[in-house]
């Protein structure tokens, strides 16, 4: 069994990503979940990710194969999935975001840069399997899109409609349901991990990759990992 280091925003998120890794590769993993320090700012997250990646790289010198997933919600940072949306209607209007949000750097870019700095730019020389997960705008965007032939309209950009940032963004209109609102409807009274397990069990990864560019980018990382015999 391979070790799987997971740096994510919660233990439940780590559980979801581990299930995705097993589903898409056929491998079994021993999870090593590490919660990122997102609330302490990007610099703290970068430092923690570097230490976690160095630890995983050191573990890769042992007898067991080692894998590593770094996950971070996009939260309205620049992302090609948002850039691909129509500029009017469903697209993210960056001018309506808070000053702090408008100033965010691309999380995809600095995550990949960090990995390259620690492991070298030559992927073929990496001693462990790596995947980056930056869902737009959060993990619920994948969960909601997975069973739906058509995306929710208008496209959500926030976690909850009742959040202050959502109310300011959509003012003077009331915010439509956002990603966590929509996911809560799908979840119902189900336990969170049972819900995630059901979502991944029913997941058609190839189909979701056509509906969500951010999921496709995550899948492309996992597609580089060795595939278990089916």
Tokens of 179: 């990603």
Q: Output the pTM of the full model.
A: 0.94
- Structure-token match 């007898």, residue found: 63
Tens digits of residue pLDDT in 85-113: 765 557 888 889 999 999 999 999 999 99
Distance (Å, whole) CA 67 – CA 154: 37
Nearest 5°: the CA angle 114, 119, 121 is 80
Summary count for the chain: helices (H), strands (E): 11, 4
Tokens of 13: 């998120």
Tens digits of residue pLDDT in 47-67: 889 999 999 999 998 888 999
* Domain spans in the chain, listed from the N-terminal domain onward: 2-222
Nearest 5°: the CA angle 119, 113, 126 is 20
């Amino acid at each position: 069994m391979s070790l799987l280091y997971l740096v994510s925003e919660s233990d439940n998120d780590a559980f979801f990503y581990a299930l995705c890794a097993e589903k898409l590769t056929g491998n079994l993993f021993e999870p090593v979940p590490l919660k990122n320090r997102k609330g302490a700012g990007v610099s703290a997250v970068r430092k923690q990710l570097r230490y976690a990646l160095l630890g995983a790289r050191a573990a890769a010198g042992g007898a067991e194969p080692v894998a590593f997933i770094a996950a971070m919600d996009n939260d309205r940072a620049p992302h090609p999935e948002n850039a691909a949306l129509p500029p009017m209607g469903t697209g993210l209007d960056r001018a309506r975001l808070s000053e702090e949000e408008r100033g965010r750097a691309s999380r995809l870019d600095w995550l990949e840069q960090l990995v390259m700095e620690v492991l070298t730019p030559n992927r073929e020389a990496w001693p462990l399997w790596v995947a980056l997960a930056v869902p737009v705008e959060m993990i619920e965007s994948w969960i909601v899109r997975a069973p739906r032939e058509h995306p929710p309209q208008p496209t959500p950009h926030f976690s909850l409609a009742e959040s202050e940032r959502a109310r300011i963004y959509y003012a003077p209109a009331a915010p439509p349901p956002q990603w966590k609102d929509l996911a809560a409807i799908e979840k119902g009274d189900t336990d969170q991990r049972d819900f995630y397990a059901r979502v991944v069990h029913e997941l058609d990864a190839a189909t979701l990759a056509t509906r969500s560019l951010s999921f496709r980018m995550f899948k492309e990382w996992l597609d580089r990992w060795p595939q278990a015999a089916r």
